[in-house]
Every structure is written in structure tokens, then in C-alpha cells.
Amino acid sequence: MTGALAGCRVLVTRERPGELAALLESKGAIAVHVPLIEVVDPIDGGAALQHELDRLADFDWVVVTSAAGAERIATAVRDTPSVRLAVVGSTTERVLAASAGRAVDLVPSSQRSAVLLEELCSAVTSPQRILVAQADRADATLGAGLRDAGHEVTTVEAYRTLLRTPPPGAIDGADALLLASGSAAQSWFDALGDVVPPIVVSIGPTTTSVATRLGLKITATSTDHSLDGLVNTLERILATSGPGAEPAGMTQSTTPTNQAK
């Protein structure tokens, strides 16, 4: 296969390579799966989440910000047709719709929590009862913003994300790293410090902000905040500069950072 990504070794750090790896491989890239997080149940075994799901009919909306969260609420959502559904992006939408057997009511125009907050508040002008199911490391901004808009908000931990450290040599020879979330940037830094491949592409400004704060050198930020946009941005970089434009092997940011944990 020919094309800008042909033979390019691209690191995918998500727990499951899934759609991102499939997109890369469809364009001739070699997707190297190096999972840096593991999704597990909350400390309480999911008791708090189950408590809220048992009374899901009390809520007007349920908001979920990841595919992992969607999987954990799908059965309750399927059995509670009165509750409306909002998600942060297209992948989460597909997982929730398929698992719950019904359409999602609101998917933001851009796959960012800030845009989800803005568009949900625009669509729902009267006070609503909203359940936000999210990860243990999730930013509190979404729930806080909904409360500030006058809604009655319950946030609940749907799952935890644990750090995984890749085995020695797992990232050697990589041409590019794709960061699909701020937690991915944080997990990379926690496991490996600020050493990155020659090209690093971020899915959006929030992820770029986290990465930059940690001292990770971002080559480009996708303007289309989706997995397709992430891959297309990498493709444009390589089509413009060619894979030989960057030095081979891992590079280290010139911005001082803390050592990896």
C-alpha cells in the first residue's frame, strides 16, 4: 500500500487499539499497541454507580464521556427509555447506541467536554436532573458547569483507570505517537517521562494543553477533534514533510519537566 502513512510505525496507547488502529492500518500504517492504562471497576466495586442506575428514571439526562463509561450504563439505559442521552463523541455514541439499542440524543459538534457542556446547556434551558458517569480521573469541569447553568447534577465514578508501564523496547523505532485524550498524555508522562517519538499529534486543544504542561513536545493539534481527524492530521504532516524530515528515534523535550514517576 502506498500513501503518506505506508510503513509508518504509530504508537496507540489506548487500552484497546480498536477503531484508531483500524483507521491507521487502512492507510498502510503499522499500529503499535502500547496500552498505558487499564480500565477497572471503582474501589467500591461499582456500588455507587449501581445505586444511581437503579434510580435512573429519576433523571432527565445521563451524560457519559467515554466508551468504557457507555458500556457500564448501557443495560440500565436500555431499560429506562425516558432518560435522554448525551455523549462526548462519535465513538462513545456508537458504543452506547449499539449497547443500549437506541439513539443518543445529543452528540456535540466537536468531541470536547467543553463543547458538550456548551451545547447541552443551549439545548436544555430549563433545570434538569442530570447524571454524569465518568472516570475517577475525569475533570470536574463538566459537572460544575452544568450546576452553574442551574441543573441538578449527580456525578458518579463509573470506572477507574490504572497506569500500565510498557515492557522495555516496546516503543523503540516508533515514528509517531497519537494522543487521543489528556489522560493519555498524563499516562505517557507518568510511565515514560518527556521522551517522545519524532512526531506527536494531539486530538485537540485540551489534550495539547495537558501535554504541553507536562513538557511533551506536540507536533500538531488536530482541528477535527475525532479519531479520523487525528489520523488525517498525521497523514498531512507526513505528506508535507515526508517521514525523513524528523530525526529518527525518540526525542526529548527541551522544556524542563519532572522525572517520570
What pLDDT does 4 receive? 79
* pLDDT exceeds 80 at position 256: no
Which residues, other chains included, contact 166 with Cβ-Cβ below 8 Å and sequence gap of 6+?
A: 34, 35, 36, 191, 192
Q: What is the mean pLDDT of the chain?
A: 88
Domains, in order of start, for the chain: 9-36+164-252 (3.40.50.10090), 40-161 (3.40.50.10090)
Confidence category of residue 231, pLDDT binned at 50, 70, 90:
very high
Q: DSSP character for 166?
A: P
What pLDDT does 252 receive? 56
User: What are the pLDDT digits (tens) for 115-132?
Assistant: 899 999 999 989 999 999
Q: 241 vs 64, which has greater pLDDT? A: 64
What pLDDT does 18 receive? 80
Q: How many CB atoms lie within 10 A of CB 129?
A: 14
* pLDDT exceeds 60 at position 61: yes
Confidence category of residue 36, pLDDT binned at 50, 70, 90:
confident
User: What are the pLDDT digits (tens) for 140-165?
Assistant: 899 999 999 999 999 999 999 888 88
CB-based contact 69:135 (threshold 8 Å): yes
CB-based contact 127:104 (threshold 8 Å): no
Confidence category of residue 43, pLDDT binned at 50, 70, 90:
very high
CB-based contact 168:34 (threshold 8 Å): no
Can you tell me the mean pLDDT for 167-177? 90
Q: 76 vs 169, which has greater pLDDT? A: 76
CB-based contact 201:237 (threshold 8 Å): yes
- The percent of residues in the chain predicted with pLDDT above 70, rounded, is 92
Exposure of 154 in the CB half-sphere (CA atoms within 13 A): 17
